[in-house]
Every structure is written in structure tokens, then in C-alpha cells.
Amino acid sequence: MAVQISPSILSADFARLADEAAAVPNADWLHVDVMDNHFVPNLTLGLPIVEALLKATSTPIDCHLMIENPDRWAPGYAEVGAGSVTIHAEAAKSPVRTLRQIRSLGARAGFALNPATPVEPYEDLLGEIDMLLLMTVDPGFGGQPFLDMVLPKVRRARALIERHGGQVWLQVDGGVASDTIERCAEAGADVFVAGSAVYGADDPASAIDRLRALASR
Ligand code: DX5
Ligand code: ZN
């Protein structure tokens, strides 16, 4: 499994996003947390800023939509050129239609589960997605402590993915840092979102190198 690191710009300086993207040339993705103050109790950014970022960086954009009604809004992010668009199970009313739309617009389709949402009911969706995101904190804020209780689900999800051909990437997001990333990798994750562990570091690019080395052990 190839390890991929997706630094979250939620912990970056929002006034200098182009510079912050340039500070992580070794990132596989730039993780962009879209929050609407309804699905989660926080408000961040939306489509116009994603469009601006796409012009400012060649790193592919990994949009994590923590919003109500993703069925209405998610295709727009694929349309403007996000490389990956992830919707939440708890918010989507027509996940199959929406995931198919995301794919037909040329983006990878991601499907996210909160810590308290079980993975088993979604086994039949594995053929419709390119990435499963298992949240390792309740979404809404950066810098929250990693929830070890999610690790058994990461293991079960990895087993389900392997049973279905092993194509789907398994992403973890929340509290992923040098003291937790090895546990996530060992449980079967292969795409790692890290906000404060990257942008809180003096040298974000070296932080990515360190995380990648730990996850690859
Ligand atoms: C939280 C967001 C995360 C956040 C992670 O709801 O989805 O992407 O930026 O931040 P850290 O890595 O600091 O927990
Ligand atoms: Zn996120």
C-alpha cells in the first residue's frame, strides 16, 4: 500500500493560502475542509476559495465536505477541478447518485463516516467510491485528540476493502500526528490527513516527511 499524506489547510494561515500550499511541495494532496456551520459547529470556506486555490497550486485538492445537503453542493467541487470530493454518510440523502455524479465529473469520490457511524451498513457502496474516510475525531475542528476507539473500525474497513478487490483508499482524519499515525497505518489506513501536525510544525515539509516515514514502517 502506498502511503499518501494530505495536509489539512484548516491549520494553515487562511490569509496566505497560496504560500501555505507552496510550503508542502511533498504533499500528495491538499486537504480542504469545507464546513457550513450546520453539519458541524464551525464555518470555514467554500467553492470560491477552492477555485482560487486550484489556480494557486498544482497539488491536487482533496475536498472534505462537512456540510448539509452534499447532494446539492458536492458536484460543483468536482466541476471546478477538485481531484477528490468526499461527502458524509450522515448528511447525504442520495449517496449513490451523488458519488456517481462526482465520478462522472472526473473527480475521485470519497465517502466519510463519523466516529460513531458503523462501516458495515455501507459495504455495498464500496464499488461506488474511490476512498473511504474514517473520521478519528468528531468533525468540526483541528487539534482535537485522536480517538483510539475508531481503530477497530479501521481494521474492519480494511478487511471489507480487501474483500472487494482492494482498490478503495482508506483515509483517516483527526488527531493524526507522529504519536498516532503508526497505529493508523498498522490498522490498514493508507491516506493520512494531518492539520496541526503539519501546519503547527516549524517546517511543514519536514513534518510530512516524518509522518510518511512513520506510516511506511
Ligand atoms: C476536522 C477536519 C480535519 C482537521 C484535522 O473536522 O476534518 O481535516 O483539519 O486537524 P488535526 O490534524 O489537527 O486533527
Ligand atoms: Zn478533514
pLDDT, one tens digit per residue, over 128-161 is: 999 999 999 999 999 999 999 999 999 999 999 9
Active site residue 62: no
Ligand 2 centroid–CA 104 distance in Å is: 23
Ligand 2 centroid–CA 63 distance in Å is: 8
Residues 6+ apart with CB under 8 A from 165: none
Take residue 119 and report the three cell numbers written for it. Answer: 462501516
Q: Average pLDDT, stretch 212-216?
A: 98
Ligand 2 centroid–CA 74 distance in Å is: 15
Q: What is the pLDDT of residue 1?
A: 78
Ligand 1 centroid–CA 160 distance in Å is: 25
194 lines ligand 1 (CB under 6 A): yes
Q: Average pLDDT, stretch 39-53?
A: 98
Take residue 104 and report the three cell numbers written for it. Answer: 462522472
> Which one of 62, 130, 173, 190 is the catalytic residue?
173
110 lines ligand 1 (CB under 6 A): no
Confidence of residue 67 (pLDDT cuts 50, 70, 90): very high
Active site residue 209: no
What Cα–Cα distance (Å) separates residue 205 from each residue in 23, 25, 58, 146, 199?
6, 7, 16, 22, 9
142 lines ligand 1 (CB under 6 A): yes
Of 29, 35, 62, 141, which is best to mutate to test ligand 1, by the most ligand atoms within 8 angstroms of its C-beta? 141
Stated pTM of the model:
0.98
Closest Cα partner for 6 from 64, 46, 73? 64
Atom of ligand 1 minimally distant from the CA of 200: 13
Partners of 43 in beta bridges? 36
Question: What is the chain's mean pLDDT, rounded?
Answer: 98
Question: Residue by residue, what is the 3-state secondary structure of 141-191?
Answer: CCCCCCCHHHHHHHHHHHHHHHHCCCCCEEEEECCCCCCCHHHHHHHCCCE
Q: What is the pLDDT of residue 207?
A: 98
